[in-house]
């Protein structure tokens, strides 16, 4: 039979079950509106051309399902559809010709899945096979890789070849797919959507994954993670390639220089291999993994080799800290962004600033200093977020500390989307503390612990003004966090860092980072400000990083970081700091639960609840101040400030009818007495605890 004269094959009407399955498929198909619009436009083209649509994307992104949707669309328009799976066809001209049973008349539609598997047949397919199709045919190719460079740059195909990459689904589309994937109500919806990050296969796996036990957060099962990696990543050539993937998964962007720090001999080879993967994209600052691939690889390593995971994390963190401290500011800020990213890598932290890569529709921003021409826009944003009184506070600090302000603008429009006011103090100014009650409370808190020594500094994140639009919020927050993190690393002799929150920010982020809520909440006009502070003299940079490292794996209740062992030995300085913390956290039980005094011998060796024991001991220590006739007024100062609480130190001084200087002197001496009283009890109990073991060892020696 002459194929050129054969009539088009008769299309059999689908039976009822097939029609039902097709209707169900159409009802549950989600997204891809732009690709469908391009396909419909190609179907409507005049018959004189043979258009080719080439779609590419990583495994599981939905290429096969989209081809299936195209097939339904074409058939319903009366077009003859031929479907070929290149992955299941031998890579020979004969096998492909047999699989492509395309009629030589009419306007057929050829859908080729796995088109990147054509390999050496691509030239034959383009120059011989496609040119033999009847005019008006439509070809759609789908694969993990786009057509070869020769095809994409051939002038003869410039008007007929259209190449596009399939991207992730939007958050709304992801929600629909997740809901349709399983009947009934989907639990832990936010966590499942965050894990999948718009990847269709990951969404279906997440939907089918079992619910978490009661009281636990949902985490994808290791089996689901393994299945996803098998489908999307596949086999890895060698151990260095695997390590490069794990590094790339843990940091937001990877350069060859970063790989060279860990793989000095193979860095160039593995970087070149990485950049050619379909699940890797190229950004300005390096290579990025598809978010769901990064998440899956990171979780997989943390599950199967937690010690290796923590070692890799610590090594990457140390490398990034070196970049922050030693490189020029643009590179240093990139290092700070990466530091923030890896320290929030566990799913124990969510919210603005956590990871700007996963925000659907997020637009990039850039940072500038604040110049005179920027002031009207800054005031407008301050008025929008803080009201008239807030504008006055911003104006005051713009006049006093203009260099402390950083602006964040949309890279697309140049519009102001965020303002950071980061103030730095090495001494206290009477005017500033009188004008701004927030700074007054910061000063009071610092001086209640210890005076600033010459050269020591206090940082205050005074303003974080963000335009409340989702596409600006994520990137601007991340930029501000990077600036603050860089300052933590590069400033010498930093004593304290404080964050002022207006009640509309992610306080859990500060708590995760070991910033403690101050008991006093200053009021600026109608706005109440919450302050969080971190004392670098108590928990230095090294200890702070170790704390965050552990929280990556274990969250806020990480084993080994909530306190010392059951019977801990503290130095006198550490003991006194812990006593101050007990008093400061007297009305915050969750904070008190982490105090090391709970494991001191004088507390832990008593019967009963350790927290109640500690409270009783502290109360007795305060009451014992009255035993010294020279300590008049000291007990009242300590009791009113900490046990009663709820007031500023100035208010307590007024209630006690004391001048502020006298009150401060009484408070300082009263605290010294409380620390000394508790320390004496600790030494006594520690000696008693050591006595039995000493006696036993002496008896053994004597025998």
591-620: pLDDT as tens digits: 787 788 887 878 877 767 788 889 989 998
Mean pLDDT of 277-292: 92
Percentage of the chain lying above the pLDDT 90 cut: 43
CB 576 within 8 A of CB 618: no
d(CA 179, CA 174): 9
CB 126 within 8 A of CB 161: no
- The answer on pLDDT for 226 being more than 70 is yes
* pLDDT on residue 45: 86
Q: Label the pairing between strands 109-113 and 405-410.
A: unpaired
More confidently predicted of 316 and 92: 316
* Residue 209 DSSP label: S
How many CA atoms, within 13 angstroms, populate the side-chain half-sphere of residue 665? 8
- Dihedral sign, Cα of residue 671, residue 673, residue 674, residue 680: positive
- 377, 369, 346, 473: which is closest to 420 by C-alpha? 369
How many CA atoms, within 13 angstroms, populate the side-chain half-sphere of residue 294? 25
Q: What is the mean pLDDT of the chain?
A: 84
CB 260 within 8 A of CB 185: no
For residue 357, give every residue at least 6 positions away whose Cβ sits within 8 Å of its Cβ, in sequence order, or none.
252, 288, 291
Mean pLDDT of 467-471: 71
Mean pLDDT of 17-22: 80
d(CA 470, CA 41): 33
- Strand runs (DSSP E) across 365-513, as ranges? 365-369, 405-410, 416-425, 457-466, 494-501
- 546, 619, 543, 607: which is closest to 579 by C-alpha? 619
Q: Label the pairing between strands 457-466 and 494-501.
A: parallel
How many CA atoms, within 13 angstroms, populate the side-chain half-sphere of residue 572? 7
CB 409 within 8 A of CB 365: yes
- The answer on pLDDT for 562 being more than 60 is no
CA distances from 199 to 65, 291, 395 (A): 13, 9, 46
**DSSP letters for 121-132:** GHHHIIIIIGGG
pLDDT in tens, 634-646: 999 999 999 887 6
More confidently predicted of 182 and 650: 650
d(CA 107, CA 166): 26
CB 338 within 8 A of CB 320: yes
Which pLDDT band holds residue 169 (cuts at 50, 70, 90)? very high
Q: Tell me how far the alpha carbon of residue 481 is from its chain's centroid.
A: 11
> What is the reported pTM?
0.73
* pLDDT on residue 568: 54
Mean pLDDT of 141-158: 91
* pLDDT on residue 133: 85
d(CA 570, CA 598): 12
* Radius of gyration, alpha carbons of the chain: 33
d(CA 129, CA 93): 9
pLDDT in tens, 191-209: 889 899 999 999 999 888 8
């Amino acid at each position: 039979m002459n194929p050129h004269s054969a009539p088009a094959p008769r299309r059999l009407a689908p039976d009822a079950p097939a029609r039902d399955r097709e209707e169900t498929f159409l009802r549950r198909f989600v997204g891809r509106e732009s690709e469908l619009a391009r396909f419909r436009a190609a179907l409507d083209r005049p018959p004189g051309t043979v258009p080719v649509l080439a779609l590419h994307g990583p495994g599981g992104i939905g290429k096969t399902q989209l081809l299936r949707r195209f097939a339904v669309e074409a058939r319903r328009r009366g077009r003859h559809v031929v479907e070929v799976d290149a992955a299941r066809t031998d890579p020979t001209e004969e096998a492909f010709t047999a699989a492509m049973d395309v009629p030589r008349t009419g306007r057929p539609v050829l859908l080729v899945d796995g088109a990147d598997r054509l390999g050496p047949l691509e030239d034959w397919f383009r120059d011989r096979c496609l040119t033999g199709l009847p005019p008006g045919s439509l070809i759609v190719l789908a694969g993990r890789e786009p057509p070869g460079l020769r095809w994409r740059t051939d002038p003869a195909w410039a008007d007929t070849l259209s190449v596009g990459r399939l991207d992730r689904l939007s958050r709304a589309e992801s929600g629909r797919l997740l809901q349709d994937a399983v009947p009934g109500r989907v639990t832990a919806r936010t966590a499942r959507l965050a894990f999948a990050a718009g990847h269709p296969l990951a969404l279906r796996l997440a939907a089918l994954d079992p619910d978490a036990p009661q009281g636990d957060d949902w985490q994808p099962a290791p089996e689901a993670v393994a299945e996803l990696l098998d489908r999307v990543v596949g086999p890895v050539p060698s151990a260095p390639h695997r390590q490069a993937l794990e590094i790339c998964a843990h940091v937001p962007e990877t350069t060859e220089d970063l790989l060279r720090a860990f793989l000095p001999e193979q860095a160039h080879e593995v970087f070149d291999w990485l950049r050619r993967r379909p699940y890797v994209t190229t950004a300005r600052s390096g290579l990025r993994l598809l978010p769901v691939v990064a998440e899956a690889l990171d979780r997989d390593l943390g599950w199967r080799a937690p010690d290796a995971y923590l070692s890799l994390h610590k090594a990457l963190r140390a490398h990034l800290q070196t970049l922050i401290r030693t490189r020029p500011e643009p590179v240093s800020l990139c290092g700070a962004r990466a530091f923030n990213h890896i320290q929030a890598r566990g799913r124990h932290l969510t919210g603005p600033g956590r990871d700007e890569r996963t925000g659907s529709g997020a637009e990039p921003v850039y940072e500038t200093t604040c110049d005179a021409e920027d002031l009207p826009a800054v005031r407008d944003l301050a008025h929008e977020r803080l009201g008239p009184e807030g504008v006055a506070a911003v104006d005051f600090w713009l006049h006093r500390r203009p260099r402390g302000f950083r602006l964040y603008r949309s890279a697309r429009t140049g519009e102001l989307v965020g303002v950071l006011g980061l103030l730095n103090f090495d001494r206290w100014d009477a005017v500033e503390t009188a004008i701004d009650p927030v700074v007054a409370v910061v000063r009071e808190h610092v001086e209640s612990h210890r005076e600033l020594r010459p050269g020591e500094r206090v940082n205050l994140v005074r303003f974080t003004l963000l335009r409340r639009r989702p596409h600006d919020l994520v990137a601007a927050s991340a930029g501000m966090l990077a600036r603050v993190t860089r300052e933590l690393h590069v400033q010498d002799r930093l004593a304290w860092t404080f964050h002022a929150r207006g009640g509309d920010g992610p306080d859990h982020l500060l708590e995760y980072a070991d910033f403690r809520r101050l008991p006093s909440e200053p009021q600026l006009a109608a706005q109440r400000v919450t302050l969080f502070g971190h004392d670098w003299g108590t928990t230095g940079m090294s200890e702070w990083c170790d704390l965050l490292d552990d929280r990556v794996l274990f969250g806020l209740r990480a084993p080994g970081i909530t306190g010392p062992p059951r019977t801990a030995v503290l130095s006198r300085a550490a003991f006194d700091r812990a006593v101050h913390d007990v008093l400061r956290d007297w009305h915050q039980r969750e904070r008190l639960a982490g105090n090391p005094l709970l494991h001191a011998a004088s507390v832990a060796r008593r019967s009963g609840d350790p927290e109640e024991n500690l409270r009783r001991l502290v109360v007795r220590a305060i009451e014992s101040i009255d035993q010294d006739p020279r300590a008049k007024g000291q007990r009242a100062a300590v009791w009113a400030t900490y046990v009663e609480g709820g007031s500023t130190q100035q208010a307590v001084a007024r209630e006690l009818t004391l001048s502020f200087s006298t009150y401060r002197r009484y408070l300082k001496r009263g605290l010294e007495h409380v620390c000394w009283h508790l320390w004496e009890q600790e030494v006594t109990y520690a000696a008693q605890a050591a006595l039995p073991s000493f006696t036993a060892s002496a008896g053994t020696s004597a025998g």
